[in-house]
Amino acid sequence: MRGEYKKPGGKLVGVDVDVNREGDPLSCSIDGDFFVMGNDGAARLLLRDLERALVQGKPLDAVVHDHPYVCLVGIDVDAIETAYLRALHSDEGDIRRVTGRPVAAQAVDDDREEFRRRWKALRPKVVRDIARTPAQQMELDERWAREVAEGQRPATLRFWRWSGPAVVVGRFQSVDHEVDIAAAREKGFEVVRRCTGGGTMFVKPSDVITYSLYAPQDFVKGVGVDESFRLCDQWLVDALNAIGVPASFGGTNDIVCADGKIGGAAQRLFPGRNVGPGALLHHTTLAYDIDVERMSAILRTSPEKMSDKAVKSAPSRVCPIKKHTARELGQVFSYFETYSEHCCN
């Protein structure tokens, strides 16, 4: 039995529940495109304890209180409880509705000078990487982040090249609920899981621009989660505006324009061992173009996920860069690489 809830202005959470013949819950699992900020063990323990508390009927606030070193981003305990209740009850009248707080309009960013100062202090090495398979990209992304966390690699900004098409699911998502695996294989798309939270990415090498930032944790010291996404991607929004794409920030981790979503970002913190500084992994994927037909055939987009959107399908939400500029993908790629180097010096 499955229930889902999309927090208005936030993320989707789903709960799968196993029940006995009488309909009593035996166990459950939580998934979705949310983020959990904290180290690996703490994140796993929080989700495990939340799942146990749901089945046992215990308050989730107490569980969150018992895990002070990890936090949920994009969802809250009310959203999780609502998804759980939706799994248990088919009668809409039995479902406790949760009213999300309205999302405040994007404030004018007064922190750009501070962002520039941090980037110039960071001075990451810019890497124009070779094309790699989707599986190799996932492995390399996590490995480089862990190397920075251990002090074995300097801060690095890496621009990806993909050697083949892929569907990339977030760390906490259910593959079966997000992807038609048979359709993906039939059309030659490799299905992989990345090490960060967030939603599913539909990747064709000719249609996307992806980059990763691997930085010591001090880069985001004293910065809240929402602000950390803006800190890492402000240069990118500025670069998009410079080539005529009217981009801005939307929600927690999206880059948008008036016509829809241009791209999305995800983050994860990696602890350092011994004298390691720890690391932030931040990666962003932008849609240069979109193959609506294949995307619609492969991705399974829950109606609940679109519940707070003005449009009701994932493809129609996307506003690719190509719509706003005559530059080819390679030209946009090169411009971003050069622009990012300028921001670091």
Cβ atoms of residues 107 and 35 within 8 Å: no
Please compute Rg for the chain using Cα positions: 20
Beta bridge partners of 166: 190, 203
Q: What is the residue type of 176?
A: D
Exposure letters 209-246 (e unless 16+ CB within 10 A, then b): bbbbbbbbbebbeebeeeebbbbbbbbbbebbeebebe
Q: What is the bridge-based pairing of β-strands 201-203 and 166-169? A: antiparallel
Tens digit of each residue's pLDDT, the chain (345 residues): 888 998 888 899 999 999 888 778 999 999 999 999 888 889 999 999 999 999 998 999 999 999 998 999 999 999 999 899 888 874 433 332 333 333 333 444 457 888 989 999 999 999 999 999 999 999 999 999 999 999 999 999 999 999 999 999 999 999 999 999 999 999 999 999 999 999 999 999 999 999 999 999 999 988 888 899 999 999 999 999 999 999 999 988 999 998 899 999 999 999 888 778 999 999 999 999 999 899 999 998 776 655 555 444 455 578 999 999 999 999 999 999 999 988 877
Hey, where are the domains in the chain? 2-94, 112-343
Nearest to 130 by CA among 108, 99, 158: 158
Round to whole Å and give the CA distance between 193 and 63: 27
Exposure letters 325-340 (e unless 16+ CB within 10 A, then b): bebebeebbebbbebb
Cβ atoms of residues 148 and 216 within 8 Å: yes
pTM of the predicted model as reported, rounded to 2 decimal places? 0.79
First to last CA, the chain: 54
Q: Tokens 């190509």: give the residue.
A: 322
CA 126 from centre of chain = 22
The tokens for 82 are: 């609502």
Cβ atoms of residues 315 and 295 within 8 Å: yes
Cβ atoms of residues 16 and 24 within 8 Å: no
The tokens for 146 are: 């862990």
Q: H/E element holding 175?
A: helix 175-178
CATH number of the domain at 2-94, out of 3.30.230, 2.30.30, 3.30.390, 3.30.70?
A: 3.30.390
| CATH architecture, domain 112-343 | 2-Layer Sandwich (3.30)
Round to whole Å and give the CA distance between 6 and 209: 27
Residues with Cβ within 8 Å of residue 161, at least 6 apart in sequence: 129, 130, 131, 132, 205
